[in-house]
A and B are shown apart, each in its own frame.
Chain A
Amino acid sequence: MLQRYWFGDVDEQGCRAAGTDPAALALRAATLRTGMESYVPIDWEIARDCGVVRTRAEYVDLLRSVCTTLAREKIARSYQARDVELLQMVRMLDELDNVINLLQERAAEWYQVTNPSFSRKYRSLPARKMLDLIRRGARGGLLDVSGEIERLTGTRSRLMREVSARADEVLPNTSALIGGLVAARLLSRAGGLSALARMPGSTIQVLGSERALFSHLRGGTPPPKHGIIFQHRRVHNAPREVRGRVARVLAAKLAIAARLDYYRGEAVPEFLNAAQARIDEAGVTA
C-alpha cells in the first residue's frame, strides 16, 4: 500500500525520496493528501535507508524546517499582519481628528480677526458649516489652509471607512457587537489583538478612561462606568440609570468576542445572537 510521506513515497517495492531541500520538500508536502483508512505512521529509519538523512537528529531537523516553512506560509496567507496594520490605521485616524480640530480652531480665530461680524455665535456652528463660511470669506493664506482642512476631512472619512471595513475582517465578532470603528479603537488602546483577547471584561469596560479610573483608585471620585465603549450608541443612548449596566454587560461580551476573533478568526453567529439579546436585555429599564 502506497504511503505518501513528507520525505517521499513508500510502498512494498521501496522508497522514492523527494530530495533534501527544505523549500522543495515543503512545496511538495503542501500538496499531499492522505486517507486515514490505510495510513501507517512514519518509521524514521525508512527515511534514513532511503538516503534522505543519516541520523535521527538530521531527520528531526529537516522535518522541523519543512514544517516551519509550511507554517510560516500558512500564517502569511491567513492574515498578513492585518491587525498590526489596523492598529496603525486607527491611530492615524485619531491623529487626523486631532490635527483637523486644531487647524479648524486656529482658522476660526484668524477669520474672526479679519471679519469682526464672525462673532462668537458662529463658533457653535457644525465644523463643516463654519469651514464653508470661512472659505467663502477668506483670502490668501487662510483660504489655502481652509482648503487643506477640507482635504484632510475627506481623507479622514475615507480612512474611517477603510478602518471600519478592515475591523470587520480582523475583528469580526467584536465589530458585530460594537461597530468596526469602536472595535478598532479598543484594539488600538489595548495594543493589539492578542492583548485585547487577554483582557477581562472589566478592563475593556474602562479602556480609554484611565484618568478617571486611576483618580478613583487613588480615592475620592466615583469609578468610571465606561471608556471607549461609550462611543457606541448602545451605551450613550441608554437611559442614565442603566448605562452602567449596559456598559458592563457589553464589555463582558466584548471580552468573549475578542477571544473568538483571536483564536478562531471568524464570526460565530450563535454567540453573536445570544450576546446581542443579552445586551439588549441589559438596556431595558425596570
Chain B
Amino acid sequence: MRIKRASLLLSVVLLAAIAIVWYRATNVSDAPILQSDITPSQAQHSPSSAAAGNQATSPAVVEVDEHVNEDFADNFAVVASAYADEINYPPYSIPLRNSDSQLLQPNLYHAQTIPLENGAKASIHLDRFRFTYPEPVNVQLQLEGIQVYEVSLSLFSESTNKLLTTSKMQIDEKGYHTKLSAESDWDGPLRIEIEFKSGGQAQIVQTGFEYSQPVAKIMGVGATSIESTDLIIPVKVKVTVAGHYRLRANLFTADRQPIAVLTASSPLAKGESELKLRAYKAVLKGNSSPLLLNTFQLENRSAAPGEPTRYGDSERPEFVIDYSATELFSEESYKPSEEEKQRLEFLKSMAEKK
C-alpha cells in the first residue's frame, strides 16, 4: 500500500514537472527551460531578443546546462573492475594490444620543440632514447622559421660533464644531420648540444639520451616446453657483468599481431646463462605456432640505491618461437598474489559509499 501511494505521489509530481516544462518551452520568451547555468552566449543572444524579430539575422542560441551529481566512490567501482581484469593475468605474461604504444615501442624518443624568437622553432630528433654500443647515433636538427649557419654538435656525459666528441652537422632537406660513431667510453646518460648561429647570435639547443655498454647479450632461444599453465620460452643469455637481470620481450603472432609482453627476472652469474620467459595459456588462446619474439629489453637492475641500471642487447632483433601440445596446459587459472588481492580489496572498499 505504501508503495502504491508513493508511486501515485511520484506520478503527480512527474506530471506537474512535465506541465511546467511544456509551459516554459511554449512560452520561452519569458524564460528558457530548466536553465541551471546561462552561458555568455545566451546573455548576448537572449530568446527575447530573438523573439523581437531577429530571425532575419543569425539564429539566437539558448544554452541550457544541467549538472548531474555523482559520488566520488562510484569512480572506484570502475577502477576496481579494471584492476580485477588486469590481475586475471600473471604479471609475467600481460596481454598486449595494438594500442599499447608504450609497451610496443618502449625505447621511443619523443622530439621536443624549443620555441625561439619570432615564432621560430628548433627540435632535435633521435632514432630512439637508449642506444647500445656500438650502435651509431643519428642526430637530426629540424628548424622552422629561422635561417642558421655554422651548425655543430658536442656530446657530453651528463654525470661528469666531460666532452666526449664533436661533429659538424650537414645540411639536408629536413634541416641538419650528423651520424655519431660510438666510443667504448660512452656509458650512461649523455647530453647532445647543438650550437648554431643566426643573425650573428649564437644559440645552443640540447637534449638527453642514454648510451649503454652492453652487460649481457641474448644469444638465442631454446626449445619451448609446457609447465603447468605456461609455455616456457628459454632465452639464452651471455652475461658479462653478473647481477639481477630482468628481461622483457613482446610476443606476436606470425602475422605480427601483438599477443603479450613477457617478463622474466633472475640473478645471473657471469658466463652462459638462461632466463625463462613464460606465456600464460590465456594469452595464447586462439593463436598457433609459430610465434615471434622481439622488442627485447634486457636490464641488469640497480642492486642498491645509487647504482645505475645497466642494459644488454640481443644478437638478433627477433626469434621465431615454435610450440605444440597446448592441450597439456593444466586446468588451473592464475591466482593473484596476496598483494594484488589486497590492492583489489582496497579499491573495492573505496567504492563503498561512505
Determine if chain A interacts with chain B. no
Which residues of A are at the interface with B, using a C-beta cutoff of 8 A?
Answer: none
